[in-house]
Homo-oligomer: A and B are copies of this chain.
Amino acid sequence: MRDNVLGLTVVLGDGRVIQTGSRARKSSAGYDLTGLFVGSEGTLGVITEIALRLHGQPQAISSAICGFDTVAGAVDAVIASIQMGIQVARVELVDTASALAVNAYSGADFPACPHLLLEFHGSDTAVAQDAATFGEIAADHGGHGFEWSSKTEDRNRLWKMRHDAYYAILASRKGATAIVTDVCVPISRLADALLETQTDIAQSGIPGPILGHVGDGNFHAILLIDPNSPSEMVTAKALAARMSERALAMGGTITGEHGVGIGKLDYMQAEHGEAWAVMGAIKAALDPYGIMNPGKLVPPTN
């Protein structure tokens, strides 16, 4: 997201209104305040205007789906594709539990195995070539049932299922509440992180289908708990904590896209060390009255 923000209007805690960025595509005139405010979770000021980068509509788009024997095979196919220089515009992992939930909810007929859902952008020839090349790479990594299409209706059907996956997963355990986790690891460690997480979830007795943004190393386990069971809540929180610890041990981050808030404050010191105190110093400098979303993201001041 940060890369797609060109400039901001921000109201600071003392009432000043600032503009960041300019209409030029690049600048080296001072600190990158735009990047500082994006993702600051309202702790530095209230963003009231955003200038976004526009992207051209690609000439052609192809989408593809492929089943895999193992999650590791799916991840390795993505790594090999990136290394080959294939421009993968989107690549989403749907694990076996998620695929079965989508079948029940959306009337799909995914085989009971992990799947990758992909999208390629470019010229007509490029998207056909990229999809076909990916199919060959996938076959080398235990892929099967590979299909691709450049028809809009096929693509829309595919992504509709993916966008509905959260609701499909939620519906797979009656009356359940979801605790959604979010970690991101170096892609080279993604297969390990996924497998260890799946094993941990299986041993916990709580259902936890996984959805992953594989190209980024980012994934979510959707932990389905009985809202009336305090013990399931404890178990789920312990699972989520181990996911954060595992991500840090692998050189990753405790949150790929959902943010810190209050829930992940306890891991900020472990992830950032002394740099977390630096974030606190920036917060104190820009919000001396401590009124911008207090208690979130930076070290507590007491």
Which residues of A are in contact with B by a Cβ distance under 8 Å? 2-3, 12, 16-20, 22-33, 35-36, 38-40, 44, 56, 58-59, 83, 85, 122-123, 125-126, 129, 184-187, 215-218, 247, 251-260, 264, 267-268, 271-279, 281-282, 284-286, 297-298
Contact = CB atoms under 8 A, between A and B. Distances in A.
**Interface-central residue, A3, A32, A187, A264, by most chain B CB under 10 Å:** A32
A214 to B, nearest CB: 11
Nearest to A250: B23
26 contacts: A16-B277, A18-B275, A19-B272, A22-B251, A22-B252, A22-B253, A23-B186, A24-B251, A25-B187, A26-B217, A26-B256, A28-B253, A28-B255, A28-B260, A29-B254, A30-B279, A30-B298, A31-B39, A31-B44, A31-B297, A36-B36, A56-B85, A126-B126, A282-B282, A282-B286, A284-B285
A187 B6 CA distance: 14
A264 B290 CA distance: 33
B39 A58 contact: no
Given A2-B32, A29-B268, A281-B285, 20 more contacts: A3-B3, A12-B278, A18-B272, A19-B272, A22-B252, A22-B271, A23-B251, A25-B186, A27-B255, A28-B39, A30-B260, A30-B276, A31-B44, A32-B35, A32-B39, A33-B275, A35-B35, A36-B36, A282-B286, A284-B285
Copies held by the complex:
2
A29 B253 contact: yes
B26 A257 contact: yes
A216 B286 contact: no
Contact of A279 (B22, B33, B268): B33
Contact of A271 (B29, B256, B273): B29
B253 A27 contact: yes
B36 A32 contact: yes
Contacts of A44: 31
A273 B19 contact: yes
Nearest to A126: B126
Contacts of A22: 251-253, 271
A179 B280 CA distance: 41
Contacts of A298: 30
**Interface-central residue, A19, A22, A28, A256, by most chain B CB under 10 Å:** A28
A31 B279 contact: yes
